[in-house]
Every structure is written in structure tokens, then in C-alpha cells.
């Protein structure tokens, strides 16, 4: 398992934890990460 995969798993666990504590913040983080991932995908093309 490489560093990027480990980082994604850690971030995923962190987001789940935040979403459990505060659903509104969790949703905002998920949307933010989704937008960043989308932009990153567009930039790499």
C-alpha cells in the first residue's frame, strides 16, 4: 500500500468521524473534497 492510498484512507476515516459528530460539517467536507477531486481530474487532462 502506497502513501497516497494510506492518506486517502486516513482522510476517509477522519471525514466519517467528523460526519458522525456534525452531519452538516461532514456534508460540507464531502462536497469540498468532491469539487477538489473533480478539478484535479480536469487539470490532469
pTM given for the model: 0.49
Confidence of residue 10 (pLDDT cuts 50, 70, 90): very high
Q: What integer pLDDT is reported at residue 8 of this predicted model?
A: 84
Q: What integer pLDDT is reported at residue 17 of this predicted model?
A: 86
Q: What integer pLDDT is reported at residue 27 of this predicted model?
A: 85
CA dihedral (25, 30, 34, 40) positive or negative: positive
Amino acid at each position: 500500500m502506497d502513501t497516497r492510498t494510506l492518506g486517502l484512507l486516513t482522510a476517509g476515516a477522519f471525514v466519517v468521524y467528523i460526519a458522525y459528530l456534525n452531519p452538516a460539517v461532514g456534508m460540507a467536507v464531502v462536497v469540498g473534497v468532491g469539487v477538489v477531486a473533480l478539478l484535479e481530474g480536469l487539470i490532469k487532462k
